Amino acid sequence: MYQYALFDLDGTLTDPKLGICTCVQYALADAGIEEPDLDVLEPFIGPPLQDSFQEFYQMTEEQAAKAVTKYRERFETKGLYENEIYPGIPDMLASAKQRGMKLGIASSKPTVFVEKILVHFQIREYFDVVVGSELDGSRSKKEEVVEEALKQLVTSGIKDYDKCVMIGDRRFDIEGAKAHAIKSIGVSYGYAGPDELENAGASYIANSVEELQRLLIGKEKLPPKDEKSSMQSFFKTWQVLFPILLYWTICNIVLIAGVFLIQVFLGTQENVTELLGIEGTGRVSVGLNALAMLTTIPFMYRMYRKDGNPPLTLQLKKSASVDLKKNTKKLPYLLILILGASVALALNMLLSYISFQNISSNYQETSAMQYSVSIPIGILVYGLIAPIAEELVFRGIVYNRLRGYFMTSIAIGTSAFIFGMYHGNIVQGTYAFLLGTVIAVCYTQFDTILVPILFHAAANISVFVITHDRNIERLFNRPLNCVIFVIISILTFWQLMKIKKD
């Protein structure tokens, strides 16, 4: 295990894309250069700004210095906080400190800005030293920053440099480590280009915060530490369960208020089912559930973003992107829709063949209520509202928090189990667990919340439309069709993993 660890900031501990790229855009506009696409400006994340303006826009030294000044004009007031901490980072830093490691920051960003960002995200306490560049342009090269950070961090002298490691997302971090003969870990979840870290000579590659934690401190769990350890376990459990409790509470408040208002409108306190009939009650229930889920979305999205997750966007992470110049930008999303529909239909057929639906009377009642509405209404509720609300909670918040505390495989299984338990009956619970497992795997690969939302939407719509009419369901529900959908699922999943690998 390492004794000392130096971390880059941008792209390693935090995702600074919006802040940095918008400020670069602002500086370029001042120089008469219009660049509307922030993605084009991603190479500015990591290296010294002065060098980047000269390299990417052929500016002279004087022009680049003026652009840096203009960049900082916006950055120090606004861009500084247009930043998100990667999920799992605080927990990883805390674990490293509890194991006795000394941690430091070695960033090309000016030290004054680094300090403010660390304080803003409440992780300053974990670092023994913080070293960045100077506002006057000195100590801007990565090897100079690493040298100063090592001098401050490793007080016992150069003899202990073999116990050090540098962690970063760009080749400059790896080269800075090599200049002082220390090991390096390149993190591919940042902003490195294809094979950039490998070509730079990184000692190890971490594809996620979880993998980085294992490389730094191993797989073993922390030994119990009396009351503090118990409190940490309680806090983690509460962090995972609280969003579900909040979601459930909001939904029930809306449902109870809805029933009360209906009774007031009808001018009676009698049972709504007796007044509206079974079919009418089913439609009202679907409507109230839709309203309840809609109400939760702003709260859940706020919590999701507060955790440091990226906004809902059509842009895939760089590590999972495809060649946008070849109009293949939408291919992964199309495959996700196909995979969601094929997996859902295959699972429904398999469960139908073993008569699994018949073991729960609760499921029969829930199913009757769901199918009491027309296809257009069902598509709106089950194909749009429900996927957004449920995926924000169960994948966007719960799964991401679990992923920050445990290995990915454990996080996938646990989040899927919670998703299944939430449905309240063994039939829907089993289906939701299996579906939730596949959704979480896809989410892990592409790391944008749009993936689980689209998967969930395709699954719900395909099943609802096919099974809405019992005659169509009987014609469709054949062994050969089940086999076909299983094959489609396997091939589509394989193609998605191939895109991820490429």
Whole-number average pLDDT of the chain = 83
Q: Is the pLDDT of residue 231 over 60?
A: no
Q: Which CATH class is domain 4-11+83-217?
A: alpha beta
Tell me the pLDDT tens digit for each residue of 249-271.
Answer: 999 999 889 888 877 776 655 56
**pLDDT attached to residue 233:** 67
Given the residues 8, 91, 169, 173, the one annotated as active site: 8
Per-residue pLDDT reduced to its tens digit, 346-368: 998 888 888 777 776 666 676 76
Q: What confidence score (pLDDT) does residue 227 get? A: 44
User: 17-81 has which CATH code?
Assistant: 1.10.150.240
Give the span between the Cα atoms of 161 and 183, in whole angstroms.
9
In the chain, list all ranges with CATH 1.10.150.240.
Answer: 17-81
- 419 vs 142, 233, 243, 431, 493, CA distance in Å? 45, 21, 12, 10, 22
So what's the pLDDT on residue 325?
38
pLDDT per residue over 446-469, tens digit each? 768 899 999 999 999 999 988 877
Which of 406, 463, 467, 486 minimizes the C-alpha distance to 440?
406
Catalytic residue list contains 323: no
The Cα-based distances of 31 to 19, 56, 62, 233 in angstroms read 19, 14, 12, 53
What share of the chain has pLDDT > 90, as a percent? 39
Mean pLDDT value of segment 403-428: 84
Q: For tokens 């094979």, what's the residue?
A: 195
Phi–psi pair at 213, nearest 5 degrees: -65, -40
pLDDT at position 165 over 90 = yes
Every domain of the chain with CATH number 3.40.50.1000 lies at 4-11+83-217
Q: What is the pTM of this model?
A: 0.56
